[in-house]
């Protein structure tokens, strides 16, 4: 059976468009840790965060997290300014511990058949991969120990209700802030710990954040506001 030439023309235009809209992954630093973090970055790209941490939840849905689990730039800057000569490894390990706890809380509210469950489960696995590779051996400073203790205290009264996507947005940005050597950029003046950098980056195409192909095939879902299933 032959196909009209105009149908084939549409197919090739579509194929070319898909190719154009699927850019290669952004550059990645060398070493096993950077490789694991870049895999995590690509899986945390804007499209995935929006789909699996926002669209698949009811409108304005929030989860309860410890106050310490809202980990942002100001937390990093406050620790750096209050603790002289704070080892960067302490902050990196704290970031890892915080977001592994956050993902546990997200998974806890997701039924197994929820369209975001498999994505979140795999995301947690990627964090465990980073943890195994990093193997932080440094002794925690008193300030870090206090944060970790408060974060894991079930009797704390310091709870906050936060949207899952907001938590993962914080995760994505602070990861770049704490591991900048793993995410090289052509802009040598770029400061991943700066609000200005992310404000400007929000004006760029979102698919430049990371590969939009980093989505599990069985998890591809159309945007929905139907909430949990």
Q: Where are the domains of the chain?
A: 25-207
d(CA 159, CA 69): 9
d(CA 179, CA 133): 14
Cα 85 to Cα 71, 92, 95, 175, 189: the distances in Å are 20, 14, 18, 20, 23
What are 161's strand-pairing partners? 64
Please answer whether residues 178 and 194 qualify as being in contact, where contact means their C-beta atoms are separated by less than 8 angstroms. no
Q: Residue 208: what pLDDT? A: 46
| 35 phi and psi angles, rounded to 5 deg | -60, -45
Q: Residue 85: what pLDDT? A: 83
Reading the block at residue 217, the tokens are: 């095939």
d(CA 114, CA 124): 16
pLDDT-flagged residues of the chain (< 70): 1-25, 137-138, 188-189, 201-229
**Running DSSP on this structure, what letter comes out for residue 69?**
G
CATH code: domain 25-207 is 1.20.1250.80
Reading the block at residue 158, the tokens are: 């310091």
């Amino acid at each position: 059976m032959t196909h009209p030439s105009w149908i084939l023309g549409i197919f090739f235009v579509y194929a070319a468009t898909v190719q154009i809209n699927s850019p290669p992954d952004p550059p990645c630093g060398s070493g096993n840790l950077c490789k694991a973090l870049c895999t995590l970055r690509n899986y945390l790209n804007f499209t995935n965060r929006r789909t699996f941490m926002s669209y698949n939840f009811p409108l304005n849905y929030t989860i309860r997290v410890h106050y310490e689990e809202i980990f942002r730039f100001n937390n990093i800057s406050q620790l750096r300014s209050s603790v002289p000569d704070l080892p960067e490894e302490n902050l990196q390990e704290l970031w890892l511990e915080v977001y592994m706890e956050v993902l546990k809380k997200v998974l806890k509210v997701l039924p197994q058949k929820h369209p975001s469950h498999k994505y979140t489960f795999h995301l947690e696995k990627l964090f465990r991969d980073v943890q195994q590779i990093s193997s932080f051996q440094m002794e925690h400073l008193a300030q870090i120990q206090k944060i970790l203790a408060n974060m894991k205290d079930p009797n704390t009264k310091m709870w906050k209700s936060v949207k899952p996507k907001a938590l993962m947005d914080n995760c994505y940005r602070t990861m770049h802030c704490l591991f900048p050597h793993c995410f090289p950029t052509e802009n040598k003046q770029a400061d991943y710990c700066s609000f200005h950098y992310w404000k400007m980056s929000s004006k760029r195409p979102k698919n430049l954040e990371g590969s939009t192909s980093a989505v599990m095939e069985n998890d591809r879902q159309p945007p929905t506001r139907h909430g949990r299933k």
